[in-house]
Chain A
């Protein structure tokens, strides 16, 4: 069966520090991968998606970047965090069949102080 793992689950970082959140999918190949963010009082916002290794599309301009160094690995990064980067980050994958069904990880809660 397919599983998705995100880490770390919780992170507290000072403003200006770097960030790396990692997401790994197991049990499937060539998944479409997504990073969503939920900020306080707001809905889930799509940040990045990837249809293959090295292929990243950004949905909104921001202080973050994403990379896909391996087929089932998706990394969210920042060189210098801002207070506004605080939120709950969710990684998700699909089989690319346009069913609309996303499979989510458990999320990473980032607090920038």
Chain B
């Protein structure tokens, strides 16, 4: 079945550092790919998404590019802030389905 693999956390960075959180997937066909974020004490919320190969999703300074050849959707940000501290989940969905398959999540802590 479909699956998502994220890099193991936790990840700890200093403010203004560059962030990469790796995400790879296994799926049949051409899934849509998502990054969700969970800030402390809150529910998950959609951060960005890409629906086809080579699409780039972006939001709040975060970016991720749908790479079909490497089955990857790595999350990047050029300069993280303390407020970016959260748990980040990579996910995929098939054929527009809302029954998403999630990775385990990666906890990011940004220190001032």
* B37 → chain A closest CB, angstroms: 11
Query: A99 contacts the other chain (Cβ, under 8 Å)?
Result: yes
Stretch from A36-44, A67-75, A77-85 that touches the partner: A36-44
A90-B44, A104-B43, A106-B42 known; A41+B99 contact, CB < 8 A: no
Q: How far is the CB of B51 from chain A (nearest CB, A)?
A: 8
Which partner residue on chain A sits nearest B90 by CB separation?
Answer: A43
A38: nearest residue on chain B (CB-CB)? Answer: B105
Nearest B residue to A93 via CB reads: B98
Q: How many residues of B contact A (CB 8 A)?
A: 26
* A100 and B98 alpha carbons, distance in the complex (Å): 5
Chain B's closest residue to A46 (CB) is B99
State in angstroms the CA–CA spacing of A100 and B96 once bound together.
Answer: 6
| Among candidates B43, B46, B99, B101, residue contacting A101 with C-beta atoms closer than 8 Å | B46
Is the Cβ of B43 less than 8 Å from the Cβ of A4? Answer: yes
A interface, CB within 8 angstroms of B: 4, 32, 34, 36, 38, 41-46, 49, 59, 90, 92, 94, 96, 98-107
Residues of B near any A CB (own CB < 8 A): 4, 32, 34, 36, 41-46, 49, 51, 89, 91, 93, 95-105
The 10 closest A-B pairs by CB, nearest first: A98-B96, A104-B43, A44-B102, A104-B44, A43-B104, A100-B93, A43-B102, A106-B43, A94-B98, A101-B46
Apart from A49-B98, A99-B96, A103-B43, list 17 A-B contacts with CB within 8 A: A4-B43, A34-B98, A41-B104, A42-B104, A44-B89, A44-B105, A46-B100, A98-B98, A100-B49, A100-B51, A100-B96, A100-B98, A101-B46, A102-B98, A104-B44, A105-B43, A107-B43
